[in-house]
């Protein structure tokens, strides 16, 4: 097996049980980064990915945030937005109106902005996980301001009790299924993005615009449902042992779990 570009999911894949990069993972990626492009690809916002790029010494490498909704490249010290696909404000306002009848927490993301209605249990939990602090704001006001700027969120994340999240998922699939990617990362987490994007589509655009590399020349690592299309589409799709069974079923290779440095194990074998 050979590859020219490495692409990896973050949570549940690259990070260990403490949601950090292990020394083993850092060492192997730092060894290959001079000869291979390393692209972090995640549902996270860019700010929640950059500290990982810094630790891996790949700050000049591209990143794909929001499950493919935002592609950033770095050239001559400048950050360039290669792709930006957002959810419409009208749909965002409809979701906001629906969740106001419940106890569901709703976060709005655009670029490096993250807005929450309050620093509740869910906001604090996500802040601890991603090492990024959100801004507290009235989400209706945020939507009004974004409408003036003619922008929308790259991602909406809703968190709450499983029953309430299920009701929200049912509502979205009934009323907005043609416009939205609706992804249940946990029973209590619902991540929402534009239907126009995916991790694979974003990677394809990045390869086409910036690299003379085919999808067959890519090795990709993942663990969850939003990684399935990516792992199927690249040359070598690797699932970690803790991945969903559906992900492992389509993978070319299964490595050890994220807690056992599964990504590093494969890279050590190949380099």
Q: Residues 99-158: pLDDT tens digits?
A: 998 999 999 999 999 999 999 999 999 999 999 999 999 999 999 999 999 999 999 999
Structural domain spans, the chain:
5-84+197-270, 89-194
Residues making up the chain, counted from first to last: 271
Q: For residue range 81-91, list pLDDT tens digits in order.
A: 999 999 999 99
Matching residue, tokens 């449902």: 225
Q: Which of 202, 129, 180 is CA-nearest to residue 159?
A: 129
> What is the mean predicted confidence (pLDDT) over 182-210?
95
Q: For residue range 228-257, list pLDDT tens digits in order.
A: 999 999 999 999 999 999 999 999 999 999
Q: 5-84+197-270: which CATH topology?
A: Rossmann fold (3.40.50)
The SS3 call for residue 144 is helix
Q: Are strands 113-116 and 135-136 parallel, antiparallel or unpaired?
A: parallel
pTM to 2 decimal places: 0.94
Domain 89-194 has CATH 3.30.465.10: no
């Amino acid at each position: 097996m050979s590859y020219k570009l490495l692409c990896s999911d973050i949570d549940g894949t690259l990070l260990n049980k403490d949601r950090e990069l292990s020394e083993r993972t850092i060492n192997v990626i730092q060894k290959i980064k001079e000869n291979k492009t390393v692209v972090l690809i995640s549902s996270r916002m860019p700010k929640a990915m950059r500290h990982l790029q810094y630790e891996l010494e790949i700050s000049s490498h591209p990143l794909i945030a929001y499950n493919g909704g935002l592609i950033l490249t770095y050239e001559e010290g400048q950050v360039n937005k290669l792709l930006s696909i957002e959810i419409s404000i009208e749909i965002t306002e409809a979701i906001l109106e629906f969740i106001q009848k419940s106890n569901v927490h709703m976060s709005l993301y655009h670029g490096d902005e993250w807005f929450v209605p309050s620093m509740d249990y869910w906001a604090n939990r996500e802040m601890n996980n991603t090492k990024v602090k959100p801004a507290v704001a009235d989400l209706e006001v945020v939507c009004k301001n974004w409408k003036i700027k003619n922008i929308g969120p790259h991602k909406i994340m809703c968190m709450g009790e499983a029953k309430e999240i299920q009701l929200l998922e049912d509502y979205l699939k009934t009323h907005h299924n043609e416009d939205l990617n609706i992804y249940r990362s946990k029973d209590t987490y619902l991540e929402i993005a534009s239907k126009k994007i995916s991790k694979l589509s974003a990677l394809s655009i990045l390869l086409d615009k910036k690299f003379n590399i085919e999808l067959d020349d890519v090795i990709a690592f993942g663990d969850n449902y939003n990684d399935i299309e990516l792992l199927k589409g690249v040359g070598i799709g690797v699932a970690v042992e803790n991945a969903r069974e559906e992900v492992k079923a389509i993978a070319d290779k299964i490595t050890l779990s994220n807690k056992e440095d599964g990504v590093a194990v494969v890279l050590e074998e190949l380099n």
